[in-house]
Amino acid sequence: MPARFSPTAFGPQYTTCERDNLILTLTPNPSIDATLVLSEPLTSGDVHRASEVTQVAGGKGVNVTHAVHLAGEQSLALFPAHDSDSFLNLIHSAGLPSSAIPMDGTVRVNTTITEPDGTTTKVNGPGPALSDADSRAITSELTARALASDWVVLAGSLPRGVNTDWYCDLISAVRAAAPQARIAVDTSDAPMQAIGESLNSAAPDLIKPNGLELGQLTGTDGRELEDQAARGEYSGVVRAARDVVKQGIAEVLVTLGGAGAVLVTADGAWAATPPPATVKSTVGAGDAALAGYLLGRTAGKSPADSLAQSVAYGTAAASKQGTQFPRPEELDIAHTLVNSLA
């Protein structure tokens, strides 16, 4: 059964040879992101009344497409979903460019509870199990769309029913079908570790771990890396990221929350600290940071300038309630400081 292509994307005249600088995203385990906003601190076991409740189409790749779309640039979100899933209503109401690969299961619901001080508590649903036919259909759609893409983003957790090294298989498939496409991966836990074990055969061009995920990839204490960064000490993050670069990943973008982000390539390392902001919700901030970086690289900006844009995007997203993404005019790049690291 062919994938359903949303006409909100590029219209019925879309063909694979008409689009340049397309950022293609795959979210194999998408979610309906429900946000409950509290006007008081969350207390376990108590009854709370939410002051605001929202639902949006989410998942890491979908979020990247959302941010790129708001910037007026080309992106397309791929994800599995059946025709009557309410997830598609949220995709369409947001006007997001998308192509849904049919499946029998229902898109999961991820719930975030936000407190007045910006603290967020997340409860993520398990999501459906993909069949072998589902995974083959996703691979086929991804490789076909990759032919017209500058970047292919593989993002988020893997659904049940696929192996933990499925991202490695997808990287190899995209390399074979669309060698011009650069590949970015944003994942964690077993899928991230599987990538680390397959770098000799399936290395992406870019990964975007946080400190904990970088620790998973390199066998280091990720929490200690984040604690050091919070104190303004980035040497541990840089060492770990350089180990990854030496194994074949060209660009390692490490997001570090309030400490900003670190970028390491074969040519250098940079740290960016965020502009002043009031954090309201961190949900989607890392996805916004990845979108900002890819927008910069696609536009031909230097790694350092792309890093500044990345941190500005992540900070602006964290300043919004729930899962929301900024437009370019909301960024504070002028107060996002970038320093070269030895």
pLDDT score recorded for residue 321: 80
The answer to whether residue 149 sits within a structural domain is yes
Report percent pLDDT > 70 for the chain: 94
169 is catalytic: no
Is there a domain that residue 1 lies in?
Answer: no
The predicted pLDDT at position 281 comes to 79
Alpha-carbon torsion, ordered 39, 43, 44, 47, to 10 deg: -50
Is residue 94 predicted with pLDDT exceeding 60?
Answer: yes
In-domain check, residue 12: no
Show the CA angle centred on residue 67, arms to residues 64 and 69, nearest 5°. Answer: 105
Q: Where does the pLDDT of residue 119 fall: very low under 50, low under 70, confident under 90, or very high at 90 and above?
A: confident
Helices 166-177 & 189-196 angle (0-180, nearest 10): 50
Tell me if 6 is assigned to some domain. Answer: no
Q: The pTM is what?
A: 0.90
Does 183 map to a domain?
yes
For 334, the token pair is 């002028």
* CATH value at residue 105: 3.40.1190.20
**Which pLDDT band holds residue 1 (cuts at 50, 70, 90)?**
very low
Structural domains in the chain (count): 1
Q: How far apart are CA 53 and CA 113, in angstroms?
A: 10
Mean model confidence pLDDT for the chain? 92
Query: Which pLDDT band, with edges at 50, 70 and 90, does 20 fall under?
Result: low
**Is 5 domain-assigned?**
no
Q: What pLDDT is stored for residue 40 in this prediction?
A: 95
Residue 329 placed within a domain:
yes
The 10s digit of each residue's pLDDT in 226-282 is 999 999 999 999 999 999 999 999 999 999 999 999 999 999 999 999 999 988 878
In a domain, 233, yes or no: yes
Q: Which domain holds residue 283?
A: 19-41+51-341
Catalytic, out of 33, 150, 165, 287:
287
DSSP percent split of the chain into helix, strand, coil, nearest 5: 35, 25, 40
